[in-house]
Amino acid sequence: MPDPTTTNLWHPIAACADTPVGTPQRTTLLDTPITYTLHGEGHATAASSSMLPVLIRYGYIWTSLGTPTADLFDIPEYAEPDRRRFNAASVSVHVSAPRAVENFLDMSHFPFVHTGILGAEPHTEVKEYDVETSAERDEVLATRCRFFQPQPSTAADQGAEVEYVYRVPHPNCAVLYKSSVIDENRRDVIGIFVQPVSQERVRAHMLVCVLDDRSDDATIKRFQQTVFGQDKPILENQFPKRLPLDPRAESPVRADRVSIAYRRWLAAKGITYGVIPAA
Amino acid sequence: MSAHAWHPIAAARDLPPRHVFHAKLLGQELAVWRADDGYVNVWENRCLHRGVRLSIGLNEGQELKCQYHGWRYASRTAGCTYIPAHPEGAPARRIANRIFPVIERHGLVWSALETPPDDLQTSLPPDPLVLREIAIDAPAAIVEPLLAAYDPPGHGPRPIFFIQPTDSESCVIRGVIPEPPPTDTLALLRLHDAALCALRDLAEQRPAA
């Protein structure tokens, strides 16, 4: 049985755009088989042994096996009409949900895993950044994250030092805001919404919500799929697959401050699903 | 199958230059690699930082580089020498990977999970003919009696067999022929390969439930 916090969360189960209308579909959430149907007019239903609550938000169908205690986190930029916004991919990965989220929050792998795109040697240093865990908003926030990127996005012609903000507003979902090459006052928004299929298997749904007036949807999707395709074999070679919450279980360095805060936040929430709780 | 005993974990030829070999002994995954000076390293197959298998890392000659964040570990000591996210600072001295004892002898690489009390004792010559390893989806205890009765027709000099217990459910047969004939070794290798594959099929037969 998943812990109560996990049971009562909203979880993403599919992108609306990838779901045929009116035909029941199957998926698995928290080891539980689920049937769901997308009806017309932005309405969906879902059931396991009984009917489940359903929400459609950010182009995805969300459900819960318990009673969601809070509304889903807000992404105000999603409402901005000039953004390109869609599901870039839903990818199965043999890893726990928190390992997938932690990878999304990590800058120091860019030069080694996303070589020539999001990073390149010798630009490997992770400069000091700020991390806070907001009790009021119940989220982990990393700001002033800066990294040199050879190809920051599909809208970029050249490399640039890019500034990131990372937000973790949900134990299995994270959102990043990175400098836009189109408008210096705005940021591209990319979200990873992880569906825990089991404690060690996920479907990772990737939302793009970006400023790009020159690339077609396929190009933007291909860029994200390339990047995530580079992460997948790394994630699937991580052991243990569940995220260890004991701070001594692995060897964090200063660059990992956001991961340390994330692990602490999960522990404080009493999450045991997909993690190895500290003794 | 003692953690304190020497077991073969690879053939010497599995470790060509700049390669990292993925091995397993008694349930423990190992990253095995030969440094440019010839030294063979047998390490726990996990980067200390974020748990990524080092067997998917890069053998850079004197150091192994993790694929995830480029952390480097020195040959012999397995101490972390460089953390690219913080190029200015030297890594903390305590960051060293777990290493296992190693002997390269008789065309095989030998290791143990705990330090064995004695040196490896065999009566083998330095360069026997090493058969292709046969991975078997059955425990060593099932394979042992089958190997004791191994006697394919017309095989000439009898191989010496060692069983590498990969975990409680599987093993690898590693055979060597101490004094191979000077000619026609290919036919000899093929003969044993076919006979050992037949033995594997027998070992993997499970009684119907």
Does residue B42 surpass a pLDDT of 60?
Answer: yes
Q: Which A residues in the span 225-244 are in contact with B, Cβ-Cβ below 8 Å?
A: 233-234, 237-240
Mean pLDDT, chain A, as a whole number? Answer: 96
Cross-chain Cβ contact B84/A121 below 8 Å: yes
The two tokens of residue B191 are 């003969």
The two tokens of residue B119 are 């040196």
Longest CA–CA separation in chain B, Å: 65
Which positions in chain B touch A233 (Cβ < 8 Å)? 56
SS3 A16: helix
Q: Identify whether residues B104 and B19 lie together within a single domain.
A: yes
> Long-range CB contacts (< 8 A, 24+ apart) of A132-136?
A132/A261, A133/A261, A133/A264, A133/A265
Which positions in chain B touch A251 (Cβ < 8 Å)? 48-49, 95
Q: What is the pLDDT of residue B208?
A: 56
CB B57 within 8 A of CB B45: no
Mean pLDDT, chain B, as a whole number? Answer: 93
DSSP string, B177-195: ESS--SS-HHHHHHHHHHH
Q: What is the pLDDT of residues B135-185, one digit of tens each?
A: 999 999 999 999 999 998 877 888 999 999 999 999 999 999 998 888 889
Q: What is the pLDDT of residues A130-145, one digit of tens each?
A: 999 998 999 999 999 9
Place B207 in a pLDDT band, splitting at 50, 70 and 90. Answer: low
In this complex, the residue of B51, B69, B83 whose CB is nearest that of residue A240 is: B51
B44 or A247: whose pLDDT is higher? B44
Q: Identify whether residues B26 and B74 lie together within a single domain.
A: yes
In this complex, the residue of A124, A233, A250 whose CB is nearest that of residue B85 is: A124
Q: What is the pLDDT of residue B1?
A: 59
CB A48 within 8 A of CB A34: yes
> B198 Cβ partners below 8 Å, 6+ apart?
none
| Contact with chain B for residue A252, Cβ under 8 A | yes
Query: What are the Cα distances from residue B207, in Å, to A92, A106, B203?
Result: 35, 49, 11
Cross-chain Cβ contact A109/B87 below 8 Å: no
Q: What is the pLDDT of residue A181?
A: 86
Considering only CA atoms, which of B171, B54, B107 is closest in space to residue A238?
Answer: B54
Q: Domain tally for chain B?
A: 2
CB A251 within 8 A of CB B95: yes
Does residue B206 surpass a pLDDT of 80?
Answer: no
Q: Identify whether residues B99 and B139 lie together within a single domain.
A: no
The two tokens of residue A56 are 């459609």
CA A24 to CA A39: how far, in whole Å? 10
Considering only CA atoms, which of A157, A164, A217 is closest in space to residue A190?
Answer: A164
- In-domain check, residue B123: no
Query: Burial level of A236, CB count in 10 A (0-12/13-18/19+)?
Result: middle
Of B78, B111, B144, which marks where a domain is finished?
B111
Range of the domain at B193: 129-204
Q: At what angle do helices A217-236 and A97-104 cross, to 10 degrees?
A: 120
Query: What are the Cα distances from residue B110, in Å, to A122, A183, B43?
Result: 38, 60, 13
In this structure, what CATH number is given to the domain that contains residue B147?
3.30.70
SS3 B122: coil
In this complex, the residue of A122, A237, A251 whose CB is nearest that of residue B56 is: A237
Phi, psi of B33 (to 5 degrees): -150, 145
Strand arrangement, sheet containing A202-210: A84-93, A202-210, A187-196, A173-179, A160-170, A139-149, A130-134
Q: What is the pLDDT of residue B76?
A: 97
Q: Identify whether residues B88 and B178 lie together within a single domain.
A: no
Does residue A186 surpass a pLDDT of 80?
Answer: yes
> B159 Cβ partners below 8 Å, 6+ apart?
B131, B175, B176, B177, B192
Q: What is the pLDDT of residue B154?
A: 78
- In-domain check, residue B59: yes
A142 sits in which H/E element: strand A139-149
Does residue A115 surpass a pLDDT of 80?
Answer: yes
Which positions in chain A touch B70 (Cβ < 8 Å)? 111-112, 121, 124
Place B209 in a pLDDT band, splitting at 50, 70 and 90. Answer: low
| Contact with chain B for residue A81, Cβ under 8 A | no
| Contact with chain B for residue A247, Cβ under 8 A | no
Q: What is the pLDDT of residues A197-242, one digit of tens each?
A: 999 999 999 999 999 999 999 999 999 999 999 999 999 999 999 9
Which among B30, B43, B45, B50 is the top mutation candidate for probing chain A, defined by the most A β-carbons within 10 Å of its own β-carbon?
B50
Q: Identify whether residues B145 and B91 lie together within a single domain.
A: no
Q: Identify whether residues B31 and B85 lie together within a single domain.
A: yes
Q: What is the pLDDT of residue B184?
A: 87
CA B83 to CA A127: how far, in whole Å? 13
In this complex, the residue of A125, A233, A254 whose CB is nearest that of residue B87 is: A125
Buried b vs exposed e over B9-19: b needs ≥16 C-beta within 10 Å?
A: bbbbebbeeee
Specify the residue for token string 């439930």.
B209
CA B136 to CA B126: how far, in whole Å? 27
Q: Which residues pair with B177 in a beta bridge?
A: B129
- In-domain check, residue B87: yes
Q: Identify whether residues B106 and B133 lie together within a single domain.
A: no
The two tokens of residue A23 are 């035909």
> A136 Cβ partners below 8 Å, 6+ apart?
none
Å from B98 to nearest chain A CA? 13
Q: Identify whether residues B139 and B196 lie together within a single domain.
A: yes
In this complex, the residue of B51, B67, B85 whose CB is nearest that of residue A253 is: B85
Q: What is the dihedral of CA A91, A87, A55, A28, to 10 degrees?
A: -10
Specify the residue for token string 């990524």.
B52
Q: Identify whether residues B167 and B73 lie together within a single domain.
A: no
Which positions in chain A touch B95 (Cβ < 8 Å)? 251
Q: Which A residues in the span 114-143 are in contact with B, Cβ-Cβ below 8 Å?
A: 121-122, 124-126
CB-CB neighbours of B201 under 10 Å: 10
Cross-chain Cβ contact A108/B69 below 8 Å: yes
Of B56, B82, B111, which marks where a domain is finished?
B111
- Show the DSSP H helices in chain B as ranges: 140-148, 185-204
Q: What is the pLDDT of residue B153?
A: 80
Nearest-CA residue of chain A relative to B96? A251
Q: Which B residues in the span 28-87 are in contact with A, Cβ-Cβ below 8 Å?
A: 29, 46, 48-53, 56, 66-70, 83-87
Q: Identify whether residues B133 and B95 lie together within a single domain.
A: no
Cross-chain Cβ contact B86/A240 below 8 Å: no
Which among A234, A248, A262, A275 is the top mutation candidate for probing chain B, defined by the most B β-carbons within 10 Å of its own β-carbon?
A234
- In-domain check, residue B54: yes
Q: Looking at chain B, which runs of residues are DSSP E strands?
A: 7-11, 20-25, 28-34, 40-44, 58-59, 63-65, 72-74, 80-82, 102-105, 108-111, 129-130, 134-136, 160-167, 170-177
Q: What is the pLDDT of residues B50-102, one digit of tens each?
A: 999 999 999 999 999 999 999 999 999 999 999 999 999 888 767 899 999 99
Which positions in chain B touch A260 (Cβ < 8 Å)? none
B173 or A40: whose pLDDT is higher? B173
Q: What is the pLDDT of residues A230-263, one digit of tens each?
A: 999 999 999 999 999 998 899 999 999 999 999 9
> B105 Cβ partners below 8 Å, 6+ apart?
B120, B122, B124, B126
- In-domain check, residue B138: yes
- In-domain check, residue B117: no
Specify the residue for token string 């480097």.
B72
- In-domain check, residue B116: no
In this structure, what CATH number is given to the domain that contains residue B15?
2.102.10.10
Sign of the Cα pseudo-torsion (B165, B166, B171, B176, in order): negative
- In-domain check, residue B74: yes
Cross-chain Cβ contact A111/B70 below 8 Å: yes
Q: Identify whether residues B19 and B54 lie together within a single domain.
A: yes
| Amino acid residing at B201 | D
Q: Identify whether residues B67 and B41 lie together within a single domain.
A: yes
In this complex, the residue of B68, B87, B95 whose CB is nearest that of residue A234 is: B68
